[in-house]
Amino acid sequence: MTATKNMNDTRLKSLAKKRLDKQQYIADSGGLSVRVTPRKGESGNNLNWVFRYRLGGRDTPRQTLYFGKYPDLKLAAAREKRDQCRAWIAEGKDPKVQLQIQLEKALKPLTVQEALTKWIDEYAAKERVNAAKHQQQFNVWINPHIGSLPLEELTKHHLVNAIKKRAGRYPVAAGYVLRNVQQALKWLGDEDYDFDQSLLMIKGKAVDAKQQAKRSQRLVEDDSNQRLVDLLNWLDAGRMPPYYRNLLSLLIVFGARTQELRLAKTSEFNFETGVWTVPPEHNKTRKKDQKKGKSGEIKRPIPNAIAPMLKALCEAHKGGYLLGELKKPEAVSMWGGLVWKKLGHEEKWRLHDLRRTTATALNDLGVAPHVVESLLGHSIQGVAGIYNRSHYLPEKREALDLWCAKLEGLRNGAQSNVVKLGA
């Protein structure tokens, strides 16, 4: 092989015109060379770009890739292709395989529907509890409108307009769908798929002018706590299916996520230690916690006030789901979304607002913010989140006992029967 330090277009044109007696390889740099082959029965030579590489050390076999002909593939383009191949090698990827993937992408561009399905199958199905729900929403909100569009051609206008078609009726779900599409796009970007990066910058208000914050409710926003009292009285009357009566009662006490109770098994409740342990797979923040070296579990003390109820449920449904069956999240959400109407409340609230209600009430009772955050199962941010492994069980037990006493007072018509912590 002949080497040259000054490969340029003038040199290449000369090689194409001046006929050689035999085939030669003339090196450029970084594994790139040009193969010069005399034309049969004609003057001049054919020039082809060649890239040679090894995936391991010197003991591994040398591989050869043919990039294309000169002048169809110019010197600058050949070097750019060489640099891309060297970058793949540095990442442990075979350039031959990566170029084939690029070719397949060019011949058959990945559509939006295929891209979202890829995220569901290869990521969400393994990492997210609600993967089936994500797919169902994509099938309703996204795929019928822009599913056949090549991913690389998807714009903010396309995505926003698709989601807006249903956002008027389901504003909260609109934001949920947008966030999941953006999560899918981030993952696809990590997998080397190209798309318009501005799609990641779309804000929730673009698909719903009514901000979700305006829809957030707390049932303890005034001195009377009337909405919470209405709910407690309804629960005590026992005029609803047992599944939902138990679900609502436990949501109010623990401030848990609906999914944590919907998926809860009786085996999670230890009455000897008096602790409910939510496993990592039911915990929304498990990824953040596990990156900090935490188990991803949420531990909540079982207050004495509801221990008999929980023991009865565990005995009745031994070895199974705490609430007796596994209902789909859509069914629970739909039922919970109508409670405010059944109680005659003027403003709409939903099951997640019970979590906000508990958090607000605990803060009002003087419970320390880090204890409230731990009860809610939030990942603690910053340095404290890295070094603090405590579950604050004694503090959480005191807080929940205080909250249960407050709830009992509301049931009995007393508003000030509980002394705040630190008072």
The one-digit pLDDT tens for each residue of the chain (423 residues) are: 555 556 888 889 888 888 888 899 999 988 999 999 998 877 889 999 999 999 877 888 889 999 999 999 999 999 999 999 999 998 888 999 888 877 776 667 789 999 999 999 999 888 877 788 889 999 999 999 999 999 989 999 999 999 998 888 888 788 889 989 999 999 998 887 889 999 999 888 788 645 444 455 677 655 568 889 889 999 998 888 999 999 999 999 999 999 999 999 999 999 999 999 999 888 765 544 555 445 678 999 999 999 999 999 999 999 999 999 999 988 999 999 999 888 888 888 889 899 999 999 999 899 998 899 889 987 654 433 443 445 789 999 999 999 999 999 988 875 544 445 544
Domain(s) labelled CATH 3.30.160.390 in the chain stretch across 2-95
| pLDDT the model gives residue 80 | 92
CATH code, 2-95: 3.30.160.390
Domain(s) labelled CATH 1.10.443.10 in the chain stretch across 216-411
Domain(s) labelled CATH 1.10.150 in the chain stretch across 112-214
Beta strands in 29-140 (DSSP E): 32-38, 45-53, 63-70
pTM score, whole prediction: 0.52
| pLDDT the model gives residue 107 | 67
Please enumerate in sequence order all residues whose Cβ is within 8 A of that of 168, keeping only pairs 6 or more positions apart, or say none: none
CA dihedral sign, ordered 130, 202, 334, 323? positive
Nearest-angstrom CA–CA distance, 360 and 87: 52
Q: Are 266 and 320 in contact (CB under 8 A)?
A: yes
| pLDDT the model gives residue 348 | 86
| pLDDT the model gives residue 214 | 46
| pLDDT the model gives residue 211 | 47
The phi-psi region of residue 331 (left if phi > 0; otherwise alpha if psi is between -120 and 50; otherwise beta) is: alpha
Please enumerate in sequence order all residues whose Cβ is within 8 A of that of 196, keeping only pairs 6 or more positions apart, or say none: 152, 154, 155, 156
Q: Does the 112-214 domain belong in CATH 1.10.150?
A: yes
CATH class name, domain 216-411 = mainly alpha
DSSP β-bridge partners for residue 299: 277
